[in-house]
Amino acid sequence: MPVPVYKIEPLCDHRWEDFLDSEPGASVFHTTGWLEALHRTYGYQPIVYTTSSPGTKLRNGVVFCQIESWLTGRRLVSLPFSDYCEPLVDSPDDLQLIWDELTAEKNRGKTWRYIEVRSTAPLKAKSSLFHSTCEYAIHRLDLNPSLDQLFNAFHKDSTQRKIRRAEREGLKYEDGRSESLLLSFYQLLVVTRRRLGIPPQPLQWFRYLIASLGEALRIRVAFKESRPIAAILTLRRNGALVYKYGCSNANFHNLGGMHLLLWRSIQEAKEAGLNVFDFGRSDCNNEGLILFKERWGARRSAATYSRYTTSAHSPDSYRPSEAHWSLQIVKHACTHAPRRLLSMAGGILYKHVG
C-alpha cells in the first residue's frame, strides 16, 4: 500500500518542537519561534509535510510557509527570510513520497507560482515539475580550537588590528533584548539599508522575534561614548550561534565596532560550549562580504536553493546571474528616501517578497 503524506500545523502541533529537539539537522529557522514571528509579522501560514500519521511521534518533516500576496502571487517557500532550511527527512524514499505529494498538489490545480526549498545540499527527489537552482555561500567558524588559536587565525591586518583598535578606543559593549537596545539596533539598520539601497525590515518583525525566540536571540551593540555605532543580532540553536543581521554607521567604521561585536560573540559562543559560529549567507558575487568572512577563518560551503515551476520558461525559475527585480526597482528610491518613509516601505514590501 502507498504510504500517505500528512500535513500538520507546526504552531499548533507540539510534536514539531519535540521532533526538533531530537533532530541534529534542525536549525533556529525550523523552530516554532521563527515560524511564529513570520506568521505574526507577515501573515504567512506555516505547514509541515510528513509521512508520520496523526497521533504518532514525528519521524520526519519538511516545513514551508504559504505566502499569499496580491503583488507577487501565491508561493510555497521553505522558509522565507531564512539563510537555509533543510528538509528533515533521513530516508530518500520518504523524501520522494513528500515530493510526489507536493507535485501532485501543484498538478491538481494549486495556484502556487512555485515551490522553493532553501537547503545546503541539492535536493535528490525527482519531480515532473521543472527544477532550477541558485547557489549561495555559507560561512561557518569551527569553535573547537582555543580562543587564542581562533584569534591567531584571524587576518592580522583587517581583523586582528580592528579588534585591537576597538579595544584601544574604549568602545562600550552591551547585549540583551531590551527595547532600548532594539531601538539602537534599528536606528543603525535603517541607516545601513538606506546606504545599500534596500528597505529595512519592519520594526515589528524584530519585536516578534524577541517575543518568540526569547533567550535564543541577542542584540549586541557597540557604543562610542553614548552613541551606537554598530550592532548585530544573533540567534542560538543546536550548538550554533548564527549572525543573522548586522548594521553600522559608516562614519565610525575605522573604530572597529563591528569587529568588536563579532569577536565578543565568538568568545561568548566558545565559553558557552557551542561548536559553530555561523556567519550566514552571502551572494556568490559579493566578493567583499565573502572575503570579510573568510578573514575570520570561516570555512565556505554552498547552499543550493531549489525552485520548482511548471515550465523551464517560467519567469519564476531561478536566474542566478540576475538581481532580484523588486530590489532593483526600489534601490534608487531607497537611497534617497527619508528614513521614516524608508521604514514604512519595508513594512509594506517585505510581506510580498519572502
Per-residue pLDDT of 159-215, as tens digits, reads 999 999 999 999 999 999 999 999 999 999 999 999 988 899 999 999 999 999 999
* Residues 21 and 169 placed together within one structural domain of the fold: no
Predicted pLDDT of residue 236: 97
Other C-beta atoms closer than 10 Å to the C-beta of 323 total 11
* Residues 127 and 172 placed together within one structural domain of the fold: no
Predicted pLDDT of residue 345: 78
- Contact status, residue 39 vs residue 204, Cβ threshold 8 Å: no
* Residues 283 and 179 placed together within one structural domain of the fold: yes
* Residues 339 and 294 placed together within one structural domain of the fold: no
Residue 285 lies in a domain: yes
> CA-to-CA distance for 40 and 351, rounded, in angstroms?
11
Which of 14-18, 146-150, 333-337 is predicted with the least confidence, judged by mean pLDDT?
333-337
* Residues 19 and 111 placed together within one structural domain of the fold: yes
Predicted pLDDT of residue 338: 67
DSSP assignment string, 287-298: HHHHHHHHTTTP
Mean pLDDT, residues 249-260: 97
| CA neighbor of 352 nearest in space, from 72, 44, 65, 40 | 72
Residue 22 lies in a domain: yes
Domain that holds residue 274: 139-302
Which of 191-205, 315-329, 330-344 is predicted with the least confidence, judged by mean pLDDT?
315-329
Locate 215 and state its grid cell. Answer: 533567550
Predicted pLDDT of residue 323: 44
Residue 36 lies in a domain: yes
* Residues 298 and 151 placed together within one structural domain of the fold: yes
Predicted pLDDT of residue 325: 46
Give the model's confidence band at 346: pLDDT under 50 very low, under 70 low, under 90 confident, else very high.
confident
Per-residue pLDDT of 63-103, as tens digits, reads 999 999 988 889 999 999 999 999 999 999 999 999 999 99
* Residues 46 and 155 placed together within one structural domain of the fold: no
| CA neighbor of 139 nearest in space, from 82, 83, 80, 72 | 83
The CATH number covering residue 143 comes to 3.40.630.30
> CA-to-CA distance for 14 and 178, rounded, in angstroms?
29
Predicted pLDDT of residue 206: 98
Q: Is 351 left (phi over 0), alpha (psi -120 to 50) or beta?
A: alpha
* Residues 28 and 117 placed together within one structural domain of the fold: yes
* pLDDT for 23 beyond 90: yes
Domain end, chosen from 282, 302, 322, is at 302
* Residues 11 and 24 placed together within one structural domain of the fold: yes
- Contact status, residue 277 vs residue 268, Cβ threshold 8 Å: no
- Which residue is listed with cell 532594539? 182
Reported pTM:
0.93
Residue 152 lies in a domain: yes
Locate 159 and state its grid cell. Answer: 581583523
* Residues 113 and 34 placed together within one structural domain of the fold: yes
Q: Taking CA 138 as the corner, what is the angle to CA 135 and CA 144, rounded to the nearest 5 degrees?
A: 155
Per-residue pLDDT of 274-318, as tens digits, reads 999 999 999 999 999 999 999 999 999 999 999 999 877 677 776
Per-residue pLDDT of 30-40, as tens digits, reads 999 999 999 99
- Contact status, residue 178 vs residue 221, Cβ threshold 8 Å: no
Predicted pLDDT of residue 328: 54
> CA-to-CA distance for 284 and 255, rounded, in angstroms?
28
* Residues 96 and 165 placed together within one structural domain of the fold: no
> CA-to-CA distance for 6 and 256, rounded, in angstroms?
51
Dihedral, CA atoms, 195, 197, 202, 208, nearest 10 degrees? -70
- Contact status, residue 125 vs residue 316, Cβ threshold 8 Å: no
Predicted pLDDT of residue 15: 97
Residue 66 lies in a domain: yes
Q: Taking CA 267 as the corner, what is the angle to CA 263 and CA 271, rounded to the nearest 5 degrees?
A: 170
> CA-to-CA distance for 172 and 79, rounded, in angstroms?
35
Residue 1 lies in a domain: no
Number of domains into which the chain is organized: 2
Residue 193 lies in a domain: yes
> CA-to-CA distance for 264 and 221, rounded, in angstroms?
11
Residue 14 lies in a domain: yes
Give the model's confidence band at 322: pLDDT under 50 very low, under 70 low, under 90 confident, else very high.
very low
* Residues 17 and 110 placed together within one structural domain of the fold: yes
Classify residue 71 as exposed, middle or buried by CB count within 10 Å of its CB (0-12, 13-18, 19+): exposed
> CA-to-CA distance for 97 and 115, rounded, in angstroms?
16
Share of the chain above pLDDT 90, in %: 78
Q: Is 293 left (phi over 0), alpha (psi -120 to 50) or beta?
A: alpha
Other C-beta atoms closer than 10 Å to the C-beta of 170 total 10
Which of 125-134, 179-188, 234-243, 314-323 is predicted with the least confidence, judged by mean pLDDT?
314-323
